[in-house]
Structure 1
């Protein structure tokens, strides 16, 4: 019986130690690979599901994490190893002299030791990933969103007599860093010359006098959050335990977004993703706000455009995305109604991106070559679009969805320390001219009213959501209050946001809390 108990204790000990090593290795990998990623983003994807994630992301994580895991595990097991006949002494010979090092006899207390190390690892992970700061933010409260939120239902939004069609092209992780320093970027040379030219020849809203863009903002700095914020003027704030958007028919039911406005104005609405549109709740968002027709990798397979065995990267590559986008746009343009077509590239997603066949190898890193090819693909699409009959009455908005999350010191190795990374933007064929496109301080939240203004829409007060129309001379919230203050306020809890934007989820959470309180009182 004693042997069985000892065996069980030993097995539990090594399971706990392996768990400890896994926790520490994972935390180290996340901090090194995603230094800019916040705990809110990690929790969002963990609670909304990872369906549709590229296998390459998991494979890369395992490859980069396996060595730290093994090293940590070996270090944790070392004190339990019985050396020679005395388990509490290590004999080391140095130049024929024996040195005895006595260690604590941990083998007898191995289960306590394993539990203690796991507790230490969890605490280290708690601090390393910023969970403590995140919880502090949840416990704090601000009325900033309530004080500055402008709902599209409360102001006059007037479309021109002849409504323009709108194409929004989101470029995965596209930032201005890849443009050379003389032009406003951060690289010693230009990796994306075509995109640089597009920004230079069209409207580029910038934080400097050169090519620039919006600054990173709380609650907007990952794909789903970016898609939401640029079309609603709101950050994506999901309190823990409230994210059911992978399954729910509603995604932020209280938000009044771009799709809601365009649908009311009679637009045909369509969105295309080269991955599984359910990832992060993207499909639910576009269906909930505008009832978009959504095309993704599953649609492509269902319609016979590709087979399941032909999946690459996150679904299908950007060459197929642009090809099928052209087909969909051409179909929409044949209708009598104006249209909004939104699509998102994927090749430039971390880690290292997906390099298609036919792409060049001009640069030393695969990631640079992926960006260079993406730039060429966008230029080819723009050239095609300009050659279409319907282009005269169509506006194209090109936006990076957020800054790249490529880790491993990639960006510090190329950028000067003082360089401020910004997100790419370009507005083509607009009917409106900006008062001051350069030397602005703004965020992705400002894209919502700015996109509407780009197709000639007049917005009473030039404000929607928390965003400001950049075509106007009205100050953005960043310009009015400073970027740090705004981000600090957006990071903390907002009762107004929970009650008016999240709506049902928040009320349900309150109901559950009340039921638990009643239950506790009965038990007392």
Structure 2
């Protein structure tokens, strides 16, 4: 959403408050005006707070984490946002009370009543065009599943074609790592190996993101299971995280049935967002988070806000990949990084 709309909506909300101050309205209109102002202000601030976490206003990830909890999250990473959020809630209450007290129910002068009614009408318009309200309207359909369109050529795969020479594979998911980091003119020497790898490999650009794939666990679900994490997929089918999409047939399910050993490591808690369940329930023989990986690094290893810095996780992964490559069983290994996590990132001690 363009940054101009939230700013314009907030300006118009200020005009509404100015019109209502010392205006004249009946008791019911007075209450309605205050509720409109309070709700509009709350939605504006909620949108701004959500945008600090998502970069996309109020999206599916907000409701996902509200439903599934935030256990294992790096709360310290967002402490400033939490403090501002608490202050914003207090501000909403204070402004609403001030507007309520400023509206007169006894003044019968026509100009003041007209100004109050103008403020009330404009307030409804501000409420309906509020960025928070618009996001909620947009999500209402997608989260119910009514707006999900299944392509005619959507293919449900139950078996893989037999391959006499199965290939091993390693997947590295770089958290919020974007193409800007590859630009030598902006970040000289930051990622020379990735730049060289892209020059000699197949690389995709101009990729569009679909609804329900914009946050970490959702993107992993889309990549491994071929479904966005919205609507029914986000709620009923997850059974409160005891089972993560039990009806989905994911890449891990297919490859494990073909004799692959699948492993995953991440330097964060497996409890966060049901991360561990996604892999454990879909064919991965080993899923290790920070609790397991801490035993493989020195006791004095400095932690990151999420758990373990990427440099240690990558060292552990490299050793394990070497071990797996010496066995006869085909394998797949998935690694997730975290140090580039929004909003500030975390430089490792190395």
Query: With structure 1 as the length reference, what TM-score do the two structures score?
Result: 0.49
Identify if the C-alpha distance between structure 1 residues 270 and 162 changes in structure 2 by more than 3 Å, giving closer, same or farther.
same
Identify if the C-alpha distance between structure 1 residues 266 and 311 changes in structure 2 by more than 3 Å, giving closer, same or farther.
same
Indicate whether 1:39 and 2:59 are aligned. Answer: yes
Which residue matches 1:349?
341
Indicate whether 1:251 and 2:205 are aligned. Answer: no
| Aligned pairs for 1:159-308 within 5 A | 159=163, 161-180=164-183, 192-194=190-192, 195-207=194-206, 214-239=207-232, 241-242=235-236, 244=238, 247-248=241-242, 250-301=243-294, 303=295, 305=297
| Aligned pairs for 1:92-491 within 5 A | 103-104=103-104, 127-128=132-133, 130-137=135-142, 141=146, 144-145=149-150, 147-153=152-158, 157-159=161-163, 161-180=164-183, 192-194=190-192, 195-207=194-206, 214-239=207-232, 241-242=235-236, 244=238, 247-248=241-242, 250-301=243-294, 303=295, 305=297, 311-358=303-350
Report deviation, 1:353.
0.6
Identify if the C-alpha distance between structure 1 residues 276 and 325 changes in structure 2 by more than 3 Å, giving closer, same or farther.
same
Which residue matches 1:93?
none
1:55 to 75, 96, 102: 75
Residues paired across the two proteins, number: 296
**In structure 2, C-alpha distance between the alignment counterparts of 1:123 and 1:68, rounded to whole Å:** 21
Report deviation, 1:59.
0.7
Report deviation, 1:171.
0.4
**In structure 2, C-alpha distance between the alignment counterparts of 1:26 and 1:350, rounded to whole Å:** 18
The structure richer in helix per residue is 2
Question: Superposition RMSD on alpha carbons, in Å?
Answer: 3.7
Secondary structure of the structure 1 residue equivalent to 2:283: coil
Structure 2: where are the runs of 5+ without partners?
1-36, 107-119
**In structure 1, C-alpha distance between the alignment counterparts of 2:148 and 2:97, rounded to whole Å:** 51
Structure 1: where are the runs of 5+ without partners?
1-16, 82-87, 89-102, 107-115, 208-213, 359-524
Identify if the C-alpha distance between structure 1 residues 227 and 49 changes in structure 2 by more than 3 Å, giving closer, same or farther.
same
**In structure 2, C-alpha distance between the alignment counterparts of 1:300 and 1:123, rounded to whole Å:** 49
Identify if the C-alpha distance between structure 1 residues 245 and 71 changes in structure 2 by more than 3 Å, giving closer, same or farther.
same
Secondary structure of the structure 1 residue equivalent to 2:152: helix
The structure richer in strand per residue is 1
**In structure 1, C-alpha distance between the alignment counterparts of 2:306 and 2:134, rounded to whole Å:** 26
Identify if the C-alpha distance between structure 1 residues 169 and 334 changes in structure 2 by more than 3 Å, giving closer, same or farther.
same
**In structure 1, C-alpha distance between the alignment counterparts of 2:189 and 2:52, rounded to whole Å:** 24
Higher relative contact order by CA 8 Å / sep ≥ 6: 1 or 2?
Answer: 1
**In structure 2, C-alpha distance between the alignment counterparts of 1:308 and 1:28, rounded to whole Å:** 39
Query: With structure 2 as the length reference, what TM-score do the two structures score?
Result: 0.71
Report deviation, 1:314.
0.6
